[in-house]
Amino acid sequence: MRDVAVVAWAQSPCRAANRRDDMAGILLPVIRETVNTVGIDRDDVDFVASGSHDFYEGRTFSYIDSLDAVGAWPPISESHVESDAAWALAEAWSWLQLGEGDIALVYGIGRGSLPADLDQVMPAQLDPYYLAPLAPHRDAIAGLQARSTIEAGLTSEQGMAEVASRCLASALDNPLAQRSEQVDAAQLLEAPYVSSPLREHDVAPVGDAAAVVILAAGDAARRLAERPAWLRGVDHRMDTHYPGVRDLSESPSTGRAAHRAAELAGFSASDVDVAELHTEYSHQEAILSGALGLKGAAVNPSGGPLAGRPATATGLIRVGEAARHILDGRADRTLAHATSGPALQQNLVCLLEGDG
């Protein structure tokens, strides 16, 4: 295996809706920030990978718009995943492992604000025969999962409100968060249900932002960053697409990805100081912490997705936040988790480590 690390990371502020900028306009300042952080030109980037979903944009091949921000001039080596951009990071990591180059730039753009009504759009990601015709509310499947998670004894409405309260308080220190406040769980529990047992605070607020991670291998990483955040283990797994086949209170794909990542890394999720989890809903923190086997890690100190969920940039932001603690010298081992699909269908785990 080659040593591959995150050497730079940045994101734009999470906004409920950005009506000023097109895709390239949101992305370009973030790319410029990361490129300047490590002092390279775009010519030094060997590979570009990105992730986004056309169904948030309402047109095909929508990400092409964003290529103006990476400048496919002269022509570049490039790839795109129709998923959260954390999966683009996994592709770039594999590409660097193959020795195709030394520096890769990964970006994610999420514009969850463009659909006028996510209830119109989200059913389209479901099975077209059995589920999509039912046109479930955007949070309906998550509600089923939350109920079964409570029933399994993993959390409670009180516990979910405490997760939300903690995340919103943590986000007070994150100027790029979409939502932040000091609020008691008791106060949150006074709110009405959105999709019982979920209340508004249990649902990560969808919005718009871009995120960029620069990866580098070996000596390039050591040259570009004082303390690279080495990606010691990366793996992703998926459960079946039909939620009715699954026990929704468990996430076996997260467990398998974590196990494989630990084999690669030589340490496991139980050893990390910080874990950034892609919790689209508060109850998922309990499922994920159990599946990963976290022990005493600070979970989502950035505020996590419950403080801002810019659609397909959300998972890549978890990787960036987990790397930041190592780049800044505030942690030695961290974990990033990303998810895609309904009710934690697909899951990705990264184990990161700094030099001693």
Partner 1 sequence: MTNVLPEPVTTIPNPFRMDYTYVAGAGRSMFLRGLAERKLIARRCAGCGQVYLPPPEFCSRCLTELEAPFELDGRGAISTFCVVSFPFPGQRIDPPYVVAHIQPHGAGTRLMHLVREIEPEDVHIGLEVEPVWVPDDELDTSLLSISHFRPTTEGGADA
Least separation in angstroms between residue 100's CB and partner 1 is: 24
Least separation in angstroms between residue 314's CB and partner 1 is: 19
Q: Which residues bind partner 1 (CB under 8 A)?
A: 17-25, 28, 31-32, 35, 42, 55, 57-58, 67-73, 111, 113-117, 120-121, 123-124, 128-129, 132-133
Q: Return d(Cα 76, Cα 122) in angstroms, integer.
A: 33
Least separation in angstroms between residue 233's CB and partner 1 is: 33
- Closer residue to partner 1 (CB): 36 or 94: 36
**Of residues 55, 131, 90, 93, the one with CA closest to residue 237:** 90
Least separation in angstroms between residue 34's CB and partner 1 is: 11
State both tokens at 20.
């000023």
Least separation in angstroms between residue 41's CB and partner 1 is: 10
Q: For residues 225-250, b (16+ Cβ closer than 10 Å) or e, as one string?
A: beebbbbbbbbbbebeeebeebebbb
Q: Return d(Cα 293, Cα 298) in angstroms, integer.
A: 13
Least separation in angstroms between residue 116's CB and partner 1 is: 4
- Closer residue to partner 1 (CB): 128 or 356: 128
- Closer residue to partner 1 (CB): 100 or 119: 119
Q: Return d(Cα 234, Cα 348) in angstroms, integer.
A: 7
- Closer residue to partner 1 (CB): 31 or 343: 31
Q: Return d(Cα 84, Cα 205) in angstroms, integer.
A: 16
- Closer residue to partner 1 (CB): 42 or 222: 42
Full DSSP string of 236-261: EEE--S-GGGS-TT--HHHHHHHHHH
- Closer residue to partner 1 (CB): 228 or 310: 310
